[in-house]
Each structure stands twice: as structure tokens, then as C-alpha cells.
Amino acid sequence: MLLQLYSHSACLQHDPGPGHAERPARLRAVLHALDHDRYRAIDHIEAPRATREQLLRVHDADYVERILTSAPDTGTLQLDEDTLMSPGSAEAALRAAGATVAAVDAVLSGATRRAFCAVRPPGHHATSERAMGFCLFNNIAVAAAHALAAHGLKRVAIADFDVHHGNGTQAIFEREPRILFVSSHQSPLYPGGGGEDECGVGNIVNGTLSPGAGSREFRELWDGVLLPRLDAFKPQLVLVSAGFDAHRNDPLADIRLGHQDYAWITERLLVLAHRHAAGRLVSSLEGGYNLAALAASAGAHVDALME
């Protein structure tokens, strides 16, 4: 099987409340876009729960316990200015992180070559001890740490093209040379940071885009800076934080990409995966808040993953 899709109905039960940008309709839009004849060959997998052992590789024990036990019986609980929990949030977060772990296991066992995790809540802002930016557990970080600990990999790359900097992923791995984190993101923009001078132990590569930048600037940044660093690293596995909020119609940022740009970057990352990682690539949904733009962009991403 070339491509597996990981998701779970529990991810629709995380509900931050009326008017919140990170709403269940986001995942419904993605799944609806993929409910088409041309995607019939995709193997649909129900995401398992992440285990505490898997979460504790990147999150503090007190934090994991707090997320798993704090969901309210009714209504919402506010964790920070824009991150909330509802009764279904803990289960959704466990399934979202568990999807990425199961996908890593699948690609490294040879069951598939590529996987897309259509899950929420997103993850790349969550630090080892703090929920923020709509994120509870750092799904892609949990996956990367699993690849190191359970599979013994020595070089895992994380490519993050969400319009917001993946500050949580960077903070978790900035002293881990077996992980290379490369990110394109708008600056200035939430959450701040993500400067090009932030290098970790030589394993962090940030590329910033000014408000109003479009396809040309995005592609030049990846072709000129980020992809060459990935290539030189020779990853054994490519992980992708697939945020689609740099789309021109997204309400939370000011970058002007189209869905074709997401097909383009996906194709470039696949070339790298084929060159160094036997084609092994796992992608996990991050941002994207205009439903039509999100659906079209995720569809373009999955189309490229199927090639």
C-alpha cells in the first residue's frame, strides 16, 4: 500500500466552542475533500491512542497527567488565551498523537511508504510542559521521538510549512542532533520567535516570510535554503507538519500561497524521501482555517503523496 490515511472520529469531539478558529468543521472539510473516487485506493486506518510512554518522550509527566485529567464534564476549560479543552479533548489529543506514532510504525515496517494523519487538535505549538496555539500534545514531536526510541533511527527530519512557527517542536528538539527541524513561516506573527539566528545545535533551520509574500518567495526559500539543508542531513525518515494556513484566503495570516504550492512542496519533500529514506514520509495536519482553502490544499497535498 502506497499511502495510508490515519484519523479517528474522536478528533471531531474536541470542541473549543462557538466561533473558535480550530473547530471540528476543519477536519470534516479535509475528510470530505478526500471522500472521492480518486482516493479509493488509500488505506484508511483508525488511529490508536498514544501511550503514556510515547507522550513522556517529549512531554513532562505532570503536563501529560494534567491534559488527560482536566477535560471538563461540560462546556470548556481555558488553558491559555486561545487553547481550550472540551469533554472530548483528551481522547482527541490521544488519538491525534497516536496516529502519528502508528504511521511511523507503518512506514518503518514497510506496511506503507507514506502516511497522512488527518487529525486534530494540531500539535506543533505544544511545548514539553505547556499547551498553546490550539495545541495539546505535540503530535509530530511524539512521532519523531518514537522513531528514535523504538526504531533506532539516527537522522529524522521534520519539515514544517505551517504559516506559524512550530515553536514547540523547536523547543523540544533544539538540543537533539538526531532531529533536523526546518520551518518556513511568516514573521512577524504568532507565536513570535522562529528567527533565522535560532540554530539549536546546528539542527534548527528557520526561514521567515514577510507579510504579503507569495508563491515565488515561498518556493525560493525552500529551494534555496531549507531543502538543501534537508538534503545534506540525509534523513532516514521525513516527517511533515502540514499546516495549510499560508493560503491566500486564510484569515489568520498574510501569506499568499495557493493550493498548487502545497502540491509543489510535497513533491519536493517526496524527492528527498526517495533519495535518502526509501520514500518513507509521514505527514500530520496542523493549521488551516478557511474551510474551502484547507480542503483544496489538503487535497493537493494528498494528491502529491499518492503519485
Residue 216: helix, strand or coil by DSSP? helix
112-128: b or e for each residue (b if 16 or more CB lie within 10 Å)? bbbbbbbbbbbbbbbbb
Sign, CA torsion 142/3/162/86: negative
Residue with cell 511533515: 240
**Count of beta carbons in the 10 Å neighbourhood of residue 195:** 11
Task: Tell whether omega for the bond before 235 is within 30 degrees of 0, i.e. cis.
Answer: no
d(CA 259, CA 244): 8
Q: How many CB atoms lie within 10 A of CB 19?
A: 6
> Is 146 tagged catalytic?
no
How crowded is the C-beta side of 225, counted as CA atoms within 13 Å?
17
**HEC sequence for 22-70:** CCHHHHHHHHHHCCCHHHCCCEEEECCCCCHHHHHCCCCHHHHHHHHHC
Q: How far apart are CA 131 and CA 150, in angstroms?
A: 25
Of 14, 125, 259, 276, the active-site residue reads 125
DSSP characters for 180-203? Answer: EEEEEEESS-TT----TT--TTTT
Torsion of CA 197, 198, 203, 209, to 10 degrees: -70
Catalytic residues: 125
